[in-house]
Amino acid sequence: MIAGAVSVIAGGLAAAVTGPTEWSKGSWVAAFLVLVAGVAQIGLGAGQAYLAVTTPTVAFVTAEVVMWNVACATVIAGTLLSSPATVAVGSVPLVAALVMFMVALSDRSGAQRSIIVVGYRLLLLVVLVSVPIGVALSFARH
């Protein structure tokens, strides 16, 4: 949650300097930091904490957080360096973290909180589908 909040703040700062500095990729960086590195990470982490039948271990959650944030940093670096290959490499740990978020809820049973579970899985799906789209767009731009 802390890493997500820091990412949202960093995204706000990136947005604030984009106009005055005429940073051409600043609005993309700001949106990625806020939406993917920040809001999605917070939503997935909070959802997992609330919905998981079995509490994930500290090591499991640490691996998710590290992979998510390394992936986000790598995707941002690849974009800033105009390196679609780096964006693609950065997408791998992002997908791995998404799989881990899915696994944490795989033993979810019963109808309790079912609408929340559906919303959580929808968030997972939206982010998962956006990964190959983002990689394809990165290659298409270069």
In the chain, the number of structural domains is 1
What are the distances in angstroms from CA 3 to CA 67, 98, 115, 119, 136? 12, 16, 27, 22, 27
Query: What span, in angstroms and rounded, lies between the C-alpha atoms of 131 and 113?
Result: 28
pLDDT at 109: 52
- Host domain of residue 67: 2-141
What are the distances in angstroms from CA 135 to CA 22, 90, 110? 25, 9, 36
Sequence-distant (6+) residues with CB within 8 A of 80 are 25, 29
Query: What span, in angstroms and rounded, lies between the C-alpha atoms of 71 and 86?
Result: 10
| pLDDT (mean) for 5-19 | 94
What are the distances in angstroms from CA 62 to CA 66, 70, 140? 6, 12, 34
Does pTM top 0.85 for this prediction?
Answer: yes
Share of the chain above pLDDT 90, in %: 80
Model pLDDT for residues 109-132, shown as the tens digit of each residue: 554 568 888 889 999 999 999 999
61, 67, 70, 72: CA torsion to nearest 10:
-100
